[in-house]
């Protein structure tokens, strides 16, 4: 963190991130724009373009038929399974917008929509795989099938789905990955449950065990000045509830199964191997980061071939804010295809043995092009301690067409996170990606970003975005409770992973992150359940997610106000008073003695299991 040292290493992780951006600049990426916008006071206002197109409306109803497998990829060992995981998911949204694959549908009466079904047949290579009747406006309607009729192969199977309603016919296509058992040079497999978007993995230790849902929660973690200097850190992170590490040298956490995201560069391969070994011993998953050279096919090939044998590898990470630096629009897709071709897939869009992820920084700049290259999309919206409308760095205003305030098109409130999450979700639905891509959130875990490093940057790169001696978008760190608010807002709006920039961070944030991570073990049976029904409600700026499984509901609620708020259970459609309430997260929230209201402190958060 800038201006704050929590250990004895030469550069903080935030400083390292600036250096990483400079690598882009050295390689010739435009230094005068961010998210396609000019941001220097001497530059003109030029609309950046790249806006996500708003679908045209229709006066008559449209059916947007979609189909996808329940799990990606299947393995040879799944061929004789009678699990309900072996199914094709059919979605039949009826819409009045020209979204992907929407076609006109004639209905006798719109008020009879819920009672109308279409007859669906799914084929592979012209042969029937499964069929059934599917109600209109259904989501994730499962049609079981037998894998035993297919032969495992690297190339994904093309599936064709046909729906008929009287004389009307509708068609959709999808992709089914059915891979051979991993060869000796593949150390693990990570599946995606397309019913929920959750990752499924075996134990990170490499010990035998069934595939189980993983909820990543943790930090991008400094490698060279932190992990590489103290090999006991993975065990410490595991004890704090970390599930995954992202080496950016970066780190990340995951519930029940921990993980780390180290931040590159990994110039000391001996230290990297030791860190990865220690992560595996501690049961931490790895999110392997190739941000520095994901566009270099030779470098990607070398890294994938070196890392893919790791038993704790959870997923790959390529572009770090490629939309901000205006990387080539096809860069992320090319990289993803190459990675999958090296990792057991066909390199043509079918799955390999591990999914690919990236983070987008811009609110609305070539979303489809950059997002096409990932299975997991992260968004990093940083608004705490930030003037999001005027750049103190550049002395300019920030608008949809101009300026850089460190939080693109933001309003400076927690709702910036929910807005970004909702926009990603809606765009994925419009593109027909709602089953095949998941969204994670990156809460702000840093601040006080002023450093002498900028003086060096100023002299070395006079034309760069980072030339000033007083680069200071973010004036302060979030508090621990604000960190939890950021994280929970992301979860309540569809986030299936929480990966904060960055570790090391303040003790307050670390303690709150650990509190959230350890509580998630009680929440993930609801959040990651394929049978859960979900609602999101916002009342008086309290953001509330409700997951119902069987006779119980998880209420995960966070107060975005800097004052106390009370919410009645009745307003959430829940029985009141409750005979009993089980609280599984307390970050400044509680129930009243009558168990009829939830009480929140300023920026307080709580999770409660109640009866329906």
- What CATH number corresponds to the domain at position 591? 2.60.40.1180
Please compute the mean of the pLDDT values over residues 283-297 and round it to a whole number.
95
- What CATH number corresponds to the domain at position 340? 3.20.20.80
Are 248 and 135 contained in the same domain? no
Are 518 and 538 contained in the same domain? no
Q: Is residue 249 part of a domain?
A: yes
Are 211 and 319 contained in the same domain? yes
**What is the model's pLDDT at position 8?**
33
- What CATH number corresponds to the domain at position 149? 2.60.40
Please compute the mean of the pLDDT values over residues 328-345 and round it to a whole number.
98
Which range of residues forms the domain containing residue 282?
Answer: 200-382+435-447+480-522
Q: Is residue 515 part of a domain?
A: yes
Query: pLDDT per residue over 405-429, tens digit each?
Result: 999 999 999 999 999 999 999 999 9
Contact 279, 306 (CB under 8 A): no
Query: pLDDT per residue over 193-221, tens digit each?
Result: 999 999 999 999 999 999 999 999 989 98
Q: Is residue 419 part of a domain?
A: no
Spatial separation of the C-alpha atoms in residues 566 and 597, rounded to whole Å = 6
Are 231 and 92 contained in the same domain? no
| pLDDT bucket at 392, cuts 50 / 70 / 90 | confident
CA distances from 379 to 324, 363, 500 (A): 12, 9, 10
Are 164 and 208 contained in the same domain? no
pTM confidence score: 0.91
Contact 312, 277 (CB under 8 A): no
Are 543 and 517 contained in the same domain? no
Residue 332: both structure tokens together: 């992320």
Number of separate domains in the chain: 3
Q: Is residue 411 part of a domain?
A: no
Are 218 and 251 contained in the same domain? yes
Q: Which of 126, 144, 176 is at the close of a domain?
A: 176
Beta bridge partners of 38: 33
Q: Is residue 496 part of a domain?
A: yes
CA distances from 443 to 19, 28, 418, 500, 536 (A): 21, 30, 12, 5, 19
Q: Is residue 389 part of a domain?
A: no
Are 254 and 327 contained in the same domain? yes
Are 333 and 236 contained in the same domain? yes
Is pLDDT of 472 > 90?
A: no
Are 491 and 562 contained in the same domain? no
**What is the model's pLDDT at position 559?**
99
In the chain, the percentage of residues whose pLDDT exceeds 90 is: 79
- A 10 A CB-CB count for 539 gives 13
Q: Is residue 405 part of a domain?
A: no
Q: Is residue 221 part of a domain?
A: yes
| pLDDT bucket at 265, cuts 50 / 70 / 90 | confident
Are 235 and 354 contained in the same domain? yes
Query: pLDDT per residue over 3-23, tens digit each?
Result: 333 333 344 444 444 454 444
Are 218 and 348 contained in the same domain? yes
Please compute the mean of the pLDDT values over residues 334-348 and round it to a whole number.
98
Contact 466, 391 (CB under 8 A): no
Average pLDDT, rounded, for the chain: 89
Spatial separation of the C-alpha atoms in residues 558 and 43, rounded to whole Å = 41
- For 422, the enclosing helix (H) or strand (E) is helix 415-431
Query: pLDDT per residue over 475-531, tens digit each?
Result: 899 999 999 999 999 999 999 999 999 999 999 999 999 999 999 999 999 999 999
Is pLDDT of 256 > 90?
A: no
């Amino acid at each position: 963190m800038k201006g704050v040292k929590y250990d004895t290493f030469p550069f903080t992780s935030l400083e390292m991130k600036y250096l990483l951006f400079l690598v882009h600049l050295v390689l010739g990426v435009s230094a005068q724009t961010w998210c396609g916008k000019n941001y220097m006071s001497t530059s003109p206002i030029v609309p950046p373009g790249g806006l996500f197109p708003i679908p045209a409306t229709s006066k008559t109803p449209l059916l947007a038929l979609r189909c996808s497998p329940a799990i990606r990829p299947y393995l040879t060992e799944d061929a004789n399974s009678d699990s309900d995981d072996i199914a094709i998911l059919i979605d039949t949204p009826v819409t009045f917008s020209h979204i992907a694959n929407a076609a006109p549908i004639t209905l006798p009466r719109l008020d009879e929509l819920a009672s109308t079904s279409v007859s669906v047949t799914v084929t592979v290579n012209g042969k029937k795989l499964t069929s059934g009747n599917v109600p209109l406006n259904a989501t994730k309607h499962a049609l079981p099938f037998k894998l035993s009729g297919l032969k495992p192969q690297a190339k994904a199977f093309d599936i064709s789905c046909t729906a008929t309603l009287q004389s009307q016919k509708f068609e959709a296509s999808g992709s089914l990955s059915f891979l051979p058992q991993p060869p000796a040079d593949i150390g693990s497999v990570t599946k995606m449950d397309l019913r929920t978007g959750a990752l499924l993995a075996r134990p990170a230790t490499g010990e035998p065990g069934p595939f189980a849902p993983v909820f990543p929660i943790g930090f991008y973690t400094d490698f060279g000045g932190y992990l590489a200097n103290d090999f006991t850190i993975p065990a410490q992170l595991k004890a704090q509830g970390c599930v995954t590490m992202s080496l950016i040298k970066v780190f990340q956490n995951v519930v029940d199964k921990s993980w780390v995201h180290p931040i590159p560069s990994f110039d000391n391969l001996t230290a990297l191997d030791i860190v990865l070994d220690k992560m595996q011993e501690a049961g931490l998953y790895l999110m392997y980061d190739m941000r520095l050279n994901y566009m270099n096919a030779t470098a990607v090939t070398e890294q994938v071939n070196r890392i893919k044998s790791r038993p704790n590898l959870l997923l790959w990470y390529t572009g770090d804010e490629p939309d901000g630096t205006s990387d080539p629009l096809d860069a992320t897709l090319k990289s993803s295809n190459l990675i999958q071709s090296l990792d057991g897939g066909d390199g043509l869009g079918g799955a390999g043995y591990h999914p690919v992820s990236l983070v987008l920084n811009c609110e609305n700049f070539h979303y489809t092009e950059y997002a096409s290259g990932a299975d997991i999309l992260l968004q990093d919206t940083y608004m705490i301690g930030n003037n999001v409308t005027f750049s103190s760095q550049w002395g300019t205003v920030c608008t949809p067409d101009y300026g850089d305030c460190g939080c693109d098109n933001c309003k400076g409130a927690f709702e910036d996170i929910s807005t970004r999450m909702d926009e990603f979700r809606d765009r994925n639905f419009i593109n027909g990606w709602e089953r095949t891509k998941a969204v994670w959130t990156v809460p702000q875990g840093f601040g006080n970003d002023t450093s002498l490093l900028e003086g060096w940057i100023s002299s070395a790169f006079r034309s760069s975005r980072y030339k000033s001696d007083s680069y200071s978008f973010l004036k302060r760190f979030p508090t621990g409770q604000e960190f939890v608010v950021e994280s929970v807002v992301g979860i309540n709006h569809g986030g299936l992973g929480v990966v904060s920039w960055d570790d090391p961070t303040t003790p307050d944030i670390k303690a709150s992150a650990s509190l959230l991570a350890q509580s998630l073990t009680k929440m993930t049976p609801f959040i990651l359940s394929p049978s859960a029904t979900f609602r999101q409600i916002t009342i008086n700026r309290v953001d509330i997610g409700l997951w119902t499984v069987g006779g119980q509901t998880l209420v995960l609620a966070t107060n975005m106000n800097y004052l106390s708020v009370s919410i009645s259970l009745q307003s959430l459609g829940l029985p009141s008073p409750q005979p009993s309430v089980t609280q599984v997260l307390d970050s400044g929230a509680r129930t009243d003695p009558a168990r009829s209201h939830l009480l929140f402190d300023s920026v307080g958060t709580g999770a409660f299991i109640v009866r329906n």
